[in-house]
Homo-oligomer: A and B are copies of this chain.
Amino acid sequence: MIIGVDAMGGDFAPKNEVLGAIKAFPRLKAGSRIALFGDKNQIEAIAKAEGFDVSNFDAIHTTEVIGMNDLPAKAFVQKPDSSISVGFTALAEGKINGFASAGNTGAMMAAAMYSVKVIDGIIRPCISTDLPLMNGKTALLLDVGFNSDCKPEMLYQYALLGSIYASEVMDINNPRVALLNIGEEEEKGDLLTKAAYELMKGTSDFNFVGNVEGHAILSGKVADVVVCDGFVGNVVLKLAEGFYRVALKQGIDNEYFNRFNYEIYGGTPALGVNAPVIIGHGASSPRAIMNMILQTEHVIKAELVKKVKEALNK
A245 within 8 A of B: yes
A26 within 8 A of B: no
Q: Is the CB of A246 within 8 A of B191?
A: no
Cα-based distance from A252 to B252 in the complex (angstroms): 8
A-side interface mostly: helix
Q: Is the CB of B256 within 8 A of A242?
A: no
A residues 219-263 near B (Cβ < 8 Å) are 219, 228-232, 234-243, 245-246, 249-250, 252, 254, 256-257
A180 within 8 A of B: yes
Chain B positions within 8 Å of A240 at CB level: 239, 243
Q: Is the CB of B231 within 8 A of A190?
A: yes
Cα-based distance from A243 to B240 in the complex (angstroms): 8
Q: Is the CB of A182 within 8 A of B214?
A: no
Cα-based distance from A234 to B149 in the complex (angstroms): 18
From B228, B235, B254, contact of A214 by CB (8 A): B235
Q: Is the CB of A217 within 8 A of B231?
A: no
Q: Is the CB of B182 within 8 A of A234?
A: yes
Q: Which residue of B lies closest to A216 (CB)?
A: B242
Given contacts A189-B148, A230-B182, contact A239 B217 (CB under 8 A): yes
Chain B positions within 8 Å of A214 at CB level: 234-239, 241-242
Q: Is the CB of B215 within 8 A of A239?
A: yes
Chain B positions within 8 Å of A125 at CB level: none
From B216, B235, B246, contact of A232 by CB (8 A): B235
Q: With both chains docked as a complex, state the minimum distance between the C-beta of A130 and any C-beta of chain B, in angstroms.
A: 16
Number of identical protomers: 2
Q: Is the CB of B231 within 8 A of A189?
A: yes
A213 within 8 A of B: yes
Cα-based distance from A249 to B215 in the complex (angstroms): 13
Given contacts A148-B190, A190-B148, A239-B215, contact A252 B249 (CB under 8 A): no
Chain B positions within 8 Å of A236 at CB level: 214, 235, 239
Chain B positions within 8 Å of A239 at CB level: 214-215, 217-218, 236, 239-240
Cα-based distance from A257 to B239 in the complex (angstroms): 14
From B191, B217, B250, contact of A254 by CB (8 A): B250
A134 within 8 A of B: yes
A145 within 8 A of B: yes
Q: With both chains docked as a complex, state the minimum distance between the C-beta of A250 and any C-beta of chain B, in angstroms.
A: 5
Q: Is the CB of A245 within 8 A of B189?
A: no
Chain B positions within 8 Å of A231 at CB level: 182, 189-190, 193, 232
List A residues at the B interface (Cβ < 8 Å). Answer: 134, 145, 148-149, 180, 182, 189-191, 193, 213-219, 228-232, 234-243, 245-246, 249-250, 252, 254, 256-257
